[in-house]
Structure 1
Amino acid sequence: MPRSVEGGWEIGGFAFAENPRFTCPRWALALVETWARLRSARGGGMHGMGPQVLPRGGGYLDQPALAMEAFEMFDRWLEEGRPGGREA
């Protein structure tokens, strides 16, 4: 993907002058990559079917709270982007 395009980039309702792929901190990209891998590991690819897979051993309360909140936000954005998806 190019770093810049005429009119900038709009992602998730946010406007960016440059492609965020080049300006986003590495930790944030790693969080999105981890979410995508965990969804895939659930057995249903990006559809998220199958048992819940978490980034750390243990249950839900053993997970970093910010990561779990981010994963929930990513799931909502994915759902909203599908045809017939729900609106937040």
Structure 2
Amino acid sequence: MLERAGHAESTVDLAQLAGKRPGGAISEIMNDGGNMARILDKVPVARCRGLSLISMEDLIAYRRRAQDRENDDGDSLSYCSKPGVRSHVC
């Protein structure tokens, strides 16, 4: 994701952050008019179904912060199911 900010790369990163194998499926949400739904279309759908939304920009920012923390103290950073939660690998 840090090398190329694409949809496939973000799918792999999210799977790894969740502690899963690096893979996933990508789909597009359409609005009632048959066009690609924009973020404002997706927010009420996500709320109604108890889903979370994340942007590729959010994921990139998280990965850069995690990478910087790893570089600062020399500790290994493992992936966790909750972004923002850090764990050390011994």
TM-score (ref. length: structure 2): 0.25
Where relative contact order (Cα < 8 A, 6+ residues apart) is larger, the structure is: 2
Greater helix share, structure number: 1
TM-score (ref. length: structure 1): 0.25
